[in-house]
Amino acid sequence: MHVVITGAGGFLGNRLARALAERGRLRGAPITALTMADLSAPEPVAAPFPVRSRACGVAQRDQVDALLSDGAEVIFHLAAIVSGQAEAEFDLGMAVNLTGSLNLFQAARALGTCPVVVFTSSIAVYGGEAPDPITDTVLLNPQTSYGAQKAAAEMILTDMSRRGFIDGRGLRLPSITIRPGRPNRAASSFMSSIFREPLQGQEAVCPVPPDYVLWALSPRRCIENLIHGAELPGQAFGPNRCLALPGRSYTIGEMVEAMRRVAGEAPVRLIRWEVDPELMRIVADWRGRFAVEKALRLGFVRDESFEDNVRQFLSEELGRG
């Protein structure tokens, strides 16, 4: 079982690699090799099987072909230009998020072995005319270039799976919070930083009002879901290989209250509330209320409460009780 992860230099890619190293198995077989790829060759994780690190720009088909030249049974395609940057640099977003994904699907097809391809899409595919709450059968009407590029790639993923070229699974990630590390150019970056920085004694700016609703999932449950997405038999997805992952709906205010219950007053006082109109323009239409029957039926999981996410961050990232 050879597993490939693109975007493996990112937070989720690295965490996924670590989870695979810990499991040692996938789809009923021992993992015999893991290839971690990113634009710059990422730091390999420690694992009981060989871990290779590769530099690969997915926008270049020949680089993707080279990445898969040793074959692959399961490919996790996480490489992407995030929402804020795809909005600022349209052509770069098209090249990586759409052309790059198509390159990956076509290179996987060229293996001739119908490999499993787990594609990380996003709830940014929803918006516009889609009614509230989002259900499994409402239209994708993205209002960002990032969402449009993900939605376009989804269409081809499902079709290439229907044709038996690849065994694709498209998982629309909720806002993943609390992420460790530094803020990035994702418009959703604040959804982690307003907790992460205060929990470490630093000030953070919240660019949306407290009643902003988001659909959130913890890093731990996200990784469990990515692996579950690979484990499921392809036919379980039915005629649509793409679905919204479970999450929970919270207002930012409720999340801050949850942090207060877990960590007290001090971090809450470190949040400065300052609405950012440009950022609001991007995230205002992101949807926060979902009914994800299909994903729950297929066994994807969510958190119990945002308190859990705060505790998870404290223990896993800060090493506190």
Binding site for its own copies (CB under 8 A): 90, 94, 98, 102, 127-131, 136-145, 148-149, 151-153, 155-156, 158-159, 162-163, 165, 238-240, 285
What's the rounded Cα separation, in Å, for the pair 169 and 8? 18
What's the rounded Cα separation, in Å, for the pair 227 and 118? 9
What's the rounded Cα separation, in Å, for the pair 156 and 141? 16
Least separation in angstroms between CB 241 and its own copies = 10
146 is a catalytic site residue: yes
Least separation in angstroms between CB 141 and its own copies = 5
Catalytic residue among 126, 146, 212, 250: 146
Least separation in angstroms between CB 300 and its own copies = 16
Distances in Å between the Cα of 1 and the Cα atoms of 41, 51, 114, 242 are 21, 12, 14, 24
Answer yes or no: are the C-beta atoms of 99 and 141 closer than 8 Å: no
91 vs 203, which CB is nearer to its own copies?
91
Q: Which two tokens stand for residue 191?
A: 């959804």
101 vs 192, which CB is nearer to its own copies?
101
Q: Please tell me the number of Cα atoms within 13 Å of 37 on its side-chain side.
A: 23
What's the rounded Cα separation, in Å, for the pair 136 and 139? 9
28 vs 131, which CB is nearer to its own copies?
131
Closest by CA to 3, choosing from 107, 103, 104, 73, is 73
Least separation in angstroms between CB 299 and its own copies = 18
4 vs 98, which CB is nearer to its own copies?
98
Q: Which two tokens stand for residue 182?
A: 């530094």
Active site residues: 146
